[in-house]
Structures are given as structure tokens and as C-alpha cells.
């Protein structure tokens, strides 16, 4: 991407410059952070419709940020990604547990959303919010950190079922 490019069109891969008008889909699944579809024109937006099979949708006109706004947002996001895992760990665990590995540990969603949603619906008939995946991933990371500590105390390099305690 060039110096004047904010994003690329998700359909035709044309550069969308800083401060330019672009279009997004009004459907929430097209606007999630992981998907994040951006279109340089309405015809490019229309090109994604056959694949996504939306029942009812429209293109929403937006304006790309200028370079200064974009760089400021990126800096804030970097600060959040560095702070959030530590803050979540302290809040979610009873006692903070050290991470044994060195380097940056990725903070990804560890839960299979479709499986969890199917389970909750079958068990209770309820729906499941997407925010549950982050919360449960934090719980799984905390349980893994504790299991890693236990395995290391036993002198093992393999996690076993006995390293996980039920809550």
C-alpha cells in the first residue's frame, strides 16, 4: 500500500486514500474487526452480496480518517492491546499467574463460537453474545497459565488433565 492509502477495497483491491469516501455494508457480520469489509464504490459493495447472501442490506457511506487521525487511533490501539491482557488477567484470576513462555503471547479468541452457541441454545434455548468468546478465552488462558505452572512444578514439559482443576 502506498503512503496515501488508508485501506484497500475488499472487492477490487483498489487503494482507498486517507480522507476519501468509501462504503461499508450495514450488516454487522461484515463490520466485525476480523472481517472488516471496505469498498471503494457501491458496485464493489454489490459484488460481495452473492457470496454473503444478506437478506436485507445496503451500503453505508463513510469518510476515511486523515493520516493524523489514523496514526493516533493505531497508537491508542497498540496501548490497549499491551494493557488489556494484563488487566484482564488480574481481574479474571484469583491470584495472578506468571506466564512461563518468553516473548509476546498472542491474545486470540480460543473458543469455537459456533460450538459454544450451539451448546447454549440446545441446553437453554438462549442466544450467546459475541462478547462471551473474549470472556471465556480469558478464563481458558488463566486456566492454562495455572496448569503450566503446575506442570513446571512437577518438572514436566507436557500439560496433562490433572494440571487443570475444576472450578
Q: What are phi and psi of 128, to 5 degrees?
A: -125, 125
According to the model, what pLDDT value does residue 99 have? 46
Return the pLDDT at 90: 43
Q: Give the tens place of pLDDT for each residue, 125-141.
A: 999 988 898 899 889 98
Greatest alpha-carbon span in the chain: 61
93: pLDDT strictly greater than 80: no
Nearest residue to 131 via CA among 117, 143, 148:
117
Count CB atoms within 10 A of the CB of residue 29: 11
Q: Is the pLDDT of residue 146 over 60?
A: yes
CB distance 107 to 82 below 8 Å: no
Q: How far apart are CA 133 and CA 163, in angstroms?
A: 23
Share of the chain above pLDDT 90, in %: 41
Amino acid at each position: 500500500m502506498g503512503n496515501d492509502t488508508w485501506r484497500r477495497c475488499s472487492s477490487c483491491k483498489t487503494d482507498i486514500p486517507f480522507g476519501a469516501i468509501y462504503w461499508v455494508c450495514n450488516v454487522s457480520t461484515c463490520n466485525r474487526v476480523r472481517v472488516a469489509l471496505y469498498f471503494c464504490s457501491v458496485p464493489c459493495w454489490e459484488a460481495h452480496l452473492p457470496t454473503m447472501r444478506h437478506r436485507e442490506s445496503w451500503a453505508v457511506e463513510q469518510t476515511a480518517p486523515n493520516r493524523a487521525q489514523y496514526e493516533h487511533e493505531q497508537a491508542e490501539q497498540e496501548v490497549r492491546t499491551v494493557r488489556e491482557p494484563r488487566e484482564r488477567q488480574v481481574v479474571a484470576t484469583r491470584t495472578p499467574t506468571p506466564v512461563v513462555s518468553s516473548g509476546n503471547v498472542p491474545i486470540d479468541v480460543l473458543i469455537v463460537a459456533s460450538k459454544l452457541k450451539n451448546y447454549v441454545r440446545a441446553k437453554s434455548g438462549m442466544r450467546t453474545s459475541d462478547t462471551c468468546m473474549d470472556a471465556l478465552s480469558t478464563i481458558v488462558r488463566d486456566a492454562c497459565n495455572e496448569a503450566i505452572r503446575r506442570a513446571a512444578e512437577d518438572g514436566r514439559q507436557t500439560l496433562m488433565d490433572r494440571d487443570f482443576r475444576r472450578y
